[in-house]
């Protein structure tokens, strides 16, 4: 769904190599248009990259269906951005069918500045190192160098040991809760949140139904700019994100300059939804919209 981290690198690579950089369109409810995706694929397709879950819409994309379409029409390498899926529900790389899967530590209660890239062994074996330095070598000759075994071949230099320990602690914490329970908790909160928000006049929610998204909901409120809404909510101790969510191409597809986004995770409960709704109703009063008491009624 056009997150810059899984957009700009491929855009830059295409420009460097003279390749075509093609974008898949979305359905009106914020899903990947699979028919359009199929029309993009052919024997010249080299890489297909997509987000497992949209950070802006919460849409959970159908990995197996995407993989099936790609495999039927091309030999492309399939790259899945899992930054928004690994923290929210069980993920099994070996059953997904993708070639590479990336995730980020700070999205799953871990430290910033660390993440993971999982790849099929045969591809990693054939890839040269992208960085050189200590510990990624096997033997250095005067005229050539041979590489260490996986994963050390891609771990050049002094390891980020402190963050690795922190990420491991986050993984242990989530596994102790149980990823199925994490997913169930989010679904329950999203169902309530989407129901409560949908009842607010002038509020528009973007993306699919609650049971088909992760724990985020993006919305706009009439003519109130998301940044103004976020400021009002912040004054009442409610933290949301407002802006383009590092997905400017997606905002253009939605035909909005920005959205407000509320996120729910293992540490949230229904009292947070109450605070969010009360803050939005307060914003409606401040901006002279429908009186909050009437909206509550």
177, 206, 235 - which closes a domain: 177
Distance, in Å, from the CA atom of 59 to the CA atom of 254, rounded to the nearest integer, reads 14
pLDDT-derived band of residue 281, with 50, 70 and 90 as boundaries?
very high
pLDDT score, position 146: 95
Do 167 and 274 share a domain, yes or no?
Answer: no
Do 41 and 114 share a domain, yes or no?
Answer: yes
Do 15 and 143 share a domain, yes or no?
Answer: yes
Number of domains in the chain: 2
Which CATH number does the domain housing residue 61 bear?
3.40.640.10
pLDDT score, position 211: 84
Do 173 and 199 share a domain, yes or no?
Answer: no
177, 192, 221 - which closes a domain: 177
Do 21 and 65 share a domain, yes or no?
Answer: yes
Do 139 and 197 share a domain, yes or no?
Answer: no
pLDDT-derived band of residue 297, with 50, 70 and 90 as boundaries?
very low
Do 223 and 153 share a domain, yes or no?
Answer: no
The token duo for 266 is 């293992």
Distance, in Å, from the CA atom of 57 to the CA atom of 13, rounded to the nearest integer, reads 26
Question: What pTM was estimated for this model as a whole?
Answer: 0.91
Distance, in Å, from the CA atom of 62 to the CA atom of 68, rounded to the nearest integer, reads 10
Reported as a single tens digit per residue, the pLDDT across 87-121 is 999 999 999 999 999 999 999 999 999 999 999 99
Q: Whole domain around residue 282: which residue ranges? A: 179-296
Contact (CB, 8 A) for 82 and 50: no
Do 127 and 25 share a domain, yes or no?
Answer: yes
Angle between helices 161-177 and 179-198 (to 10 degrees): 80
Do 159 and 212 share a domain, yes or no?
Answer: no
Do 27 and 98 share a domain, yes or no?
Answer: yes
7-33 b/e (C-beta count within 10 Å ≥ 16 → b): beeeeeeeeeeeeeeeebebeeebbbe
Instruction: Work out the mean pLDDT of the chain and round it to a whole number.
Output: 94
Do 269 and 279 share a domain, yes or no?
Answer: yes
Reported as a single tens digit per residue, the pLDDT across 120-178 is 999 999 999 999 998 999 999 999 999 999 999 999 999 999 999 999 999 999 999 99
For residue 206, give the 3-state DSSP assignment.
strand
Do 155 and 264 share a domain, yes or no?
Answer: no
235-271 b/e (C-beta count within 10 Å ≥ 16 → b): eeebebbbbbbbbbbbbeebeeebbbbbbbbbebeee
160, 177, 194 - which closes a domain: 177
Question: Which residues are annotated as catalytic?
Answer: 246
């Amino acid at each position: 769904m056009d997150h810059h981290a899984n957009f700009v690198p491929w855009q830059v690579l295409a420009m460097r190599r003279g390749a075509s950089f093609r974008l898949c369109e979305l359905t009106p409810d914020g899903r990947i248009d699979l028919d359009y995706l199929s029309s993009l694929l052919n024997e010249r397709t080299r890489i297909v990259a997509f987000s497992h879950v949209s950070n802006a819409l919460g849409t959970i994309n159908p990995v197996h269906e995407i993989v099936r379409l790609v495999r039927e029409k091309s030999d492309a390498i399939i790259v899945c951005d899992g930054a928004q899926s690994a923290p929210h529900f069980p993920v099994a790389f070996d059953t997904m069918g993708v070639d590479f899967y990336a995730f980020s530590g700070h999205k799953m209660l871990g430290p910033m500045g660390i993440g993971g890239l999982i790849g099929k062994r045969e591809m990693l074996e054939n890839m040269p190192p992208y960085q050189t330095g200590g510990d990624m070598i096997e033997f250095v000759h005067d005229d050539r160098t041979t590489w260490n075994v996986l994963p050390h071949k891609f771990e050049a230099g002094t390891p980020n040991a402190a963050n690795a320990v922190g990420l491991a602690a986050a993984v242990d914490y989530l596994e102790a809760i149980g990823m199925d329970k994490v997913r169930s908790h989010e679904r329950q909160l999203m169902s309530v949140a989407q129901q409560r928000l949908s009842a607010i006049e002038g509020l528009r929610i973007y993306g699919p139904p609650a049971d088909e998204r992760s724990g985020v909901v993006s919305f706009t409120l009439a003519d109130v700019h998301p940044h103004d809404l976020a400021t009002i909510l912040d004054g009442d101790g409610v933290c949301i994100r407002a802006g383009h969510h590092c997905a400017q191409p997606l905002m253009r597809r939605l035909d909005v300059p920005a959205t407000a986004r509320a996120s729910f995770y293992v540490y949230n409960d229904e009292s947070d939804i109450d605070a969010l709704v009360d803050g939005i109703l307060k914003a409606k009063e401040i901006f002279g919209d429908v009186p909050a008491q009437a909206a509550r009624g």
